[in-house]
Amino acid sequence: MKKMLRSVFWNIVALSTLTVMALFPFGAQAETIKIGAILAVTGPASFLGGPESRTLQMLVEEYNAAGGINGNKIELIIKDSGANPAKAISFAKQLIEEEKVFAILGPSTSGETMKIKKIMEQGKTILLSCAAAEVIVNPVAKYVFKTPQKDSHAVQKIYTTMNDLGIKKIAVLVGNTGFGKAGKGQLLKAAPEYGIDVVISEVYDKKSTDLSAVVAKLMAKKGIQAVVNWSIVPAQGILAKNMRQAGWDVPLFQSHGFGNIKYVQAGGAAAEGIIFPAGRLLVSDVLPDSNPQKSLLMKYKQDYENKFNEPASTFGGHAYDAFMILARAIEKAGTDREAVRDAIENMNGMVGTGGIFNFSPTDHNGLDIDAFAMLTVKDGKFVLYNK
Amino acid sequence: MTTALFAQYLFAGITYGILYAIVAIGFNIIYNTTGIINFAQGEFVMLGGMIAITFNALFPLPVAIILAVMTTMLIGAAIEMIFIRWLDSPSVLRMIIITIGISILIRELALHIWGESVRALPYFQGNEISSVRILGTNISPQVLWVIGTCSVIVVCLSIFFKFTSLGREMRACSANRVAATLCGIDTKNMITFSFMLSAGIGALAGCVMSPITYTQYDGGTGMAIKGFTVAILGGLGNSMAAVAAGLLLGIIEAFSISVVPLAFQDAISISILLIILFIRPHGIFGRSDIARLKEF
Amino acid sequence: MSTKNIFHLAALAALVILVQMGTAWTETGYYLTQLTMIAYYSLLIIGLCMLMGYAGQISLGHAGFFGIGGYISAALTSHNFAPYQSNPFVNFLISNGLLVGRTDLYGETLLSFHPWPACIIAISFTFITAFIIGIPVLKLKGHYLAMATLGFGIIIYRVVLATEAFGEADGLSEVPGFELLPGLVVSGDFDARIENYYIAWGFVLLGIVLLLNLTNSRVGRALRAIHGSEEAAQAMGVNTARYKLYIFVLSAVFAALAGVFLTHYNGGVGPSETGIMKSVRYVAIVSIGGMANIWGPLIMGVILNFMSLRGLLGSYDDVVFGVILILVMLFAPHGILRLNVWSRLRLFFFPTPAKSSPLKENQ
């Protein structure tokens, strides 16, 4: 009897729920999830913000066409900060208080991210940053995560390769962006561990149009066996050209900021043989089928390239990961912000474009050193680097 | 410092310097006929490169460059006709703001037309790694193209201003606009022509430098600031002095790298400029009596 | 001060209060965040307006002074001096209460400057810099003056971008709030918004009162004489160089104060705040507002910065800014407030001939 009563009760509940849902098709069950994004779509970091914002728009369209996350439609609000921290601060406050967004994706640069870190903590809103610097997640702030791989891992990859090649004395060149600054710090810090001597380090302007004079300065230092260039700007290709034109053929290592085929195209023949660590997006077509990332990478690459008629870059991939991590967490934990935050923090084995994310309360980046593969440029294409 | 190293710094400096000089000459041409500093000058350089890259997909390189230079000249003329021609003796500050507005507008339109990615024209000779050996050092043949083209521009301009009637009429405008009008020179057309000329020069420079420096939608601002610096350093209105000042600044920049960190390069070169301005308030080669004639 | 100015000031104060009450009533208090940031930019703009409109000098380097103020204050208040405690000089600072301990976001204890001494150091440094730079720079004229001030701005930008203590490309973040008086803190905390709004606009009002008083004093008359004709003023015995320098330093200090407060309000400062485009933007705002009085630039500054900081125009922000610059300068060269439309409208409704504008095109 008790059993029957219970089933009648559940039947009534189910029926009435259905009725309510039929009467109020846009009721509580299908709320709209507002997601904010602060990206440098214009301005000096537009080569980051551009692909990032396009990727997000594509994903949101895709998700909404398929009915949203758990049936909740997504509303994406992209704010163009132009890489200006004051604007990023203003937008962060606006998105948190006014739009009451569920989470914020971006900003594109580390400087902006650091400025809004505290605001996110105070506003108790999740931030999934697309900027690289490790200070974003170290020390860990409760609501702040980031998707690009760790600089220190990239440095370890590079130095390991150098050890294999027997390189001891290197020159370090970085661009004056947040990315370059963070990279320089890691490169100088880790060098002694690997027995590598940084003979000289120089910082060039992010808008540099010619680096032949600094190449001359480096060449004048005797015994440099390799050059590491850590930047994210077009000057990466210019450096390669200037080195080769000056007839200097030491190996050139770049950072994961080189992950844009356009820099290879612009560098032309000079880009051949550049060695750099990067996520596997760039070499997705040559990955073995057994690689867990392969199908996802191929899909993102094809979708992006078909839609926007330009090659996919790892920068867009960072935004892709940020969105997918959030979407996965919402699928799992519903639309309660604290629950979603916990879900991200405990997420394991999340396959993304940047690698496989395993978050923990002490690691808000979630990627390990295997997120990187060493790549090189051959015949104008990215290929896996084999010694 | 070895000869080879010295030569390498020198060529780097000359390459920077001559490009600055070309932009500065563009400033001077317009300044001479109108008294205006056209802050959109750097955008002409960017447009020249961008348009040539676009045309290069359809036409062979020389044709693309010629078309790009002509298109940019038309844009220059259009800018003058739309924004400047009908103003009645505008104040200098007003013109600074208008041309800054035009430069922002062109830059942002370029962003929305061509996107944010970097582009480049192919090397005129050889490719990204080919080089020629001069004075014990290797330099790209494109550097020689840049130096050569810019020298030709400078020589042609001198001949044009000295020996053609159009050039003389433009110089008359610059000396005294009212008197020139009284002599029957159509000063309005001269101003349009000066915009076309300086747009064309800027575009040509933008094409030859594109393989070396790449072309990006916001590349014009930096060139404009450097060009303005050089124009001021040489003394406004004096194109030959601009060439000398450009080379001086370029070579200072290149050699300053050998002693100070690269990050402070701009701070050093600008400090030197300021010191020169404080000692000679009308530029190295400018004459104070001329400088006094043209001011706010 | 003239009754007209007092009326304007009272109107501004009333407007400030009305806006706050309006936002409280409509529960749109978040607008105050941007309005507070705008107030600090306005402080810079009215200072620059004095320099351009009254002393007739252009400065394309004012973002540099803003940067000096913001960066010095940020660096002194956010760097941890605890590792240098054994240094006698640091010890001296601690015993005088100039260095204070505080806890940061992650519970670590930092030892850094109290904002008051940091602010005073920043402003003094700006004062000295402006003074030293001003003497030779203000001897220059026209485009040469524009270049020199632009150059100064570039140097500051480059130095900030290349110096490790200033955070290089990342700038400085986690700058603490500025406790002006016990209980009155300049900070961007969500619950301190209303008081910060009033603090910021209070500063603007104070600044305006100071500047208006100045324009009606002996200094102001001398400045106007300089703007009219420097030679004539000189012939009448006005020490033009001294007055120009005076106003240059004053406007630099206004810019630096704006930098200090906005940095504490935002909790950080980045190199783009000192960039050339920022300086250009300020000059443009002053020009299109009309340099002849401070109300025009104030209004234009509020409108344009509001649009920009709220991201109303998305990636077309700069495009629209450029178009506004061109249009205003083409059709209303003396600023938006002197647009012919106004006088025509006035003539239409009040057919008595309005007083003709004292400023003629042949400036």
DSSP string for residues in A259-315 = --HHHHHHHGGGGTT-EEEE-GGGGGGGS-TT-TTHHHHHHHHHHHHHHHSS---HH
**Nearest chain B residue to C143, by CA:** B295
Residue A305 forms contact with B (CB below 8 Å): no
**Backbone CA torsion sign across A382, A384, A385, A387:** negative
From the CA of C320, how many Å to the nearest CA of chain A? 14
Delimit the domains of chain B by residue range: 10-124+131-293
Residue A318 has pLDDT above 90, yes or no: yes
Answer whether A50's CB lies under 8 Å from B115's CB. yes
| Residue for token pair 């020689």 | B144
Answer whether A87's CB lies under 8 Å from C186's CB. no
Residue C318 forms contact with A (CB below 8 Å): yes
Of the ranges B40-49, B183-192, B281-290, C53-62, the best mean pLDDT one: B40-49
Residue A4 has a pLDDT of: 52
**Coil/strand/helix, residue C102:** strand
Contacts C30 to A, Cβ<8 Å: 93-94, 97-98
Answer whether A356's CB lies under 8 Å from A235's CB. no
B41: nearest Cα among B23, B28, B21, B25: B23
C34-42 mean pLDDT: 95
Answer whether A258's CB lies under 8 Å from B153's CB. no
From the CA of C150, how many Å to the nearest CA of chain B? 9
Residue C132 has a pLDDT of: 94
Contacts A176 to C, Cβ<8 Å: 161-162, 168-169
C-alpha angle B247-B253-B256 in degrees, rounded to nearest 5: 130
Residue C262 has a pLDDT of: 96
Residue A9 has a pLDDT of: 52
Residue B292 confidence class, pLDDT cut points 50, 70, 90: very low
**Nearest chain A residue to C35, by CA:** A90
Contacting residues for A283 by C-beta, under 8 A, at least 6 apart: A373, A375, A382, A383, A384
Count the residues in chain C.
363
Using CB atoms, which residue from C147, C280, C362 is nearest to B100?
C280
pLDDT above 70 coverage of chain A, percent: 92
Q: Tokens representing C37?
A: 């940031």
Residue C319 forms contact with B (CB below 8 Å): yes
Residue C92 has pLDDT above 90, yes or no: no
Residue C353 confidence class, pLDDT cut points 50, 70, 90: very low
A136-165 mean pLDDT: 92
B38-43 mean pLDDT: 92
Contacts B92 to C, Cβ<8 Å: 142-143
User: Which of A3-12, A267-276, C164-173, C255-264 has the lowest average pLDDT?
Assistant: A3-12
pLDDT above 90 coverage of chain B, percent: 35
User: Which of A44-48, A381-385, C295-299, C351-355 has the lowest average pLDDT?
Assistant: C351-355
Domains and CATH numbers, chain A: 31-149+294-371 (3.40.50.2300), 151-278 (3.40.50.2300)
| Residue for token pair 């309660």 | A336
Secondary structure, 3-state, A137-205: CCCCCCCEEECCCCHHHHHHHHHHHHHHHCCCEEEEEEECCHHHHHHHHHHHHHHHHHCCEEEEEEEEC
Answer whether B153's CB lies under 8 Å from B25's CB. yes
Contacting residues for B36 by C-beta, under 8 A, at least 6 apart: B30, B84, B92, B95, B99
Residue A265 has a pLDDT of: 84
On average, the pLDDT of chain A sits at 88
Residue A7 confidence class, pLDDT cut points 50, 70, 90: low
**Backbone CA torsion sign across A241, A244, A248, A249:** positive
Contact A234 B261 (CB under 8 A): no
Contact B128 A213 (CB under 8 A): no
Contacting residues for C339 by C-beta, under 8 A, at least 6 apart: C331, C332
Residue C40's alpha-carbon distances to A111, B166, C235, in angstroms, are 21, 52, 39
Q: Between helices B219-234 and C276-289, what is the axis angle to 10°? A: 80
Contact B102 C319 (CB under 8 A): no
Contacts A222 to B, Cβ<8 Å: none
From the CA of C269, how many Å to the nearest CA of chain A? 7
Residue B49 has a pLDDT of: 95
Contact A42 B128 (CB under 8 A): no
For residues A126 and C88, give the distance between their C-alpha atoms in angstroms, rounded to a whole number: 44
Chain C neighbours (≥3 Cβ pairs under 8 A) are A, B
Contact C144 B283 (CB under 8 A): yes
Alpha carbon of residue C256 to chain centroid: 7
For residues C23 and C29, give the distance between their C-alpha atoms in angstroms, rounded to a whole number: 5
Residue B279 has pLDDT above 70, yes or no: yes
CA atoms within 13 A on the CB side of B283: 31
What backbone phi and psi angles, to 5 degrees, belong to A67? Answer: 100, 10
Sheet strand arrangement including A144-146: A74-80, A33-39, A103-105, A126-129, A144-146
For chain C, the helix, strand and coil percentages under 3-state DSSP, each to the nearest 5: 70, 5, 25
From the CA of A84, how many Å to the nearest CA of chain C? 6
CA atoms within 13 A on the CB side of C57: 34
Residue B92 has a pLDDT of: 77
C257-280 mean pLDDT: 93
Read off the pLDDT of residues C2-35 as tens digits, 9 standing for 90 and up. 788 889 899 999 999 999 999 988 888 889 999 9
Residue A16 has pLDDT above 80, yes or no: no
Higher local confidence (pLDDT), A65 or A14: A65
Read off the pLDDT of residues A71-96 as tens digits, 9 standing for 90 and up. 889 999 999 998 899 999 999 999 99
**Nearest chain B residue to A181, by CA:** B263
Contact B294 C154 (CB under 8 A): no
Chain C residues 14-73 with a CB less than 8 Å from chain A: 28-30, 33-34, 37
Residue A20 has a pLDDT of: 45
CA atoms within 13 A on the CB side of B185: 23
Residue C210 forms contact with B (CB below 8 Å): no
C151: nearest Cα among A66, B277, B50: B277
User: Among B56, B119, B210, B262, which would you mutate to test the A interface (most chain A Cβ atoms within 10 Å of its Cβ)?
Assistant: B262
Tell me the pairing of strands A356-357 and A350-351: antiparallel
Q: Tokens representing A242?
A: 């200037």
Amino acid at C27: E
Answer whether A325's CB lies under 8 Å from A289's CB. no
Residue B35 confidence class, pLDDT cut points 50, 70, 90: confident
CA-based end-to-end distance of chain B = 46
For residues C20 and C197, give the distance between their C-alpha atoms in angstroms, rounded to a whole number: 8
On average, the pLDDT of chain C sits at 86
B78-104 mean pLDDT: 86
From the CA of C306, how many Å to the nearest CA of chain A? 10
Alpha carbon of residue C197 to chain centroid: 16
Using CB atoms, which residue from B128, B137, B209 is nearest to A241?
B128
Read off the pLDDT of residues A199-249 as tens digits, 9 standing for 90 and up. 999 999 888 888 888 998 898 888 899 999 998 888 888 899 889 888 888
Q: Tokens representing B274?
A: 């300021």
Residue C51 forms contact with B (CB below 8 Å): no
Residue B167's CB is within 10 A of a number of other CB atoms, namely 16
Contact B101 C322 (CB under 8 A): yes
Chain B neighbours (≥3 Cβ pairs under 8 A) are A, C
For residues B94 and C291, give the distance between their C-alpha atoms in angstroms, rounded to a whole number: 11
C119-124 mean pLDDT: 96
How much is the CA Rg of chain B, to the nearest whole Å?
19
Residue A158's alpha-carbon distances to A110, A229, A276, A279, B138, in angstroms, are 22, 11, 7, 14, 29
Residue C220 confidence class, pLDDT cut points 50, 70, 90: confident
From the CA of B141, how many Å to the nearest CA of chain C? 32
This prediction's pTM? 0.89
Helix (H) or strand (E) holding A103: strand A103-105
Contacts C360 to B, Cβ<8 Å: none
How many Cβ pairs closer than 8 A exist between chain A and C?
Answer: 116
Residue A19 has a pLDDT of: 46
| Residue for token pair 């505290």 | A118
Using CB atoms, which residue from C190, C310, C315 is nearest to A90?
C310
Q: Tokens representing A207?
A: 């808008």
Contacts C280 to B, Cβ<8 Å: 100
Q: Which fold has domain B10-124+131-293?
A: ABC transporter involved in vitamin B12 uptake, BtuC (1.10.3470)
Contacts B119 to A, Cβ<8 Å: 266
DSSP string for residues in C259-307 = HHHHHHHHTEE-GGGGSHHHHHHHHHHHHHH-TTSSHHHHHHHHHHHHH
**Coil/strand/helix, residue A24:** coil
Residue C135 forms contact with B (CB below 8 Å): no
Residue B294 has a pLDDT of: 44
Contacting residues for C305 by C-beta, under 8 A, at least 6 apart: C34, C37, C38, C41, C42, C285
For residues B117 and C70, give the distance between their C-alpha atoms in angstroms, rounded to a whole number: 33
Answer whether A268's CB lies under 8 Å from B127's CB. yes
User: Which of A115-119, B214-218, C98-102, C323-327 has the lowest average pLDDT?
Assistant: C98-102
What backbone phi and psi angles, to 5 degrees, belong to C217? Answer: -100, -175
For residues C299 and C41, give the distance between their C-alpha atoms in angstroms, rounded to a whole number: 12
Residue C179 CB burial class (10 angstroms; 0-12, 13-18, ≥19): middle
From the CA of B190, how many Å to the nearest CA of chain A? 34
Answer whether C126's CB lies under 8 Å from C81's CB. no
Amino acid at A360: S
Residue C52's alpha-carbon distances to C153, C223, C228, C276, in angstroms, are 17, 11, 12, 17
Contact C330 B87 (CB under 8 A): yes
From the CA of A175, how many Å to the nearest CA of chain C? 9
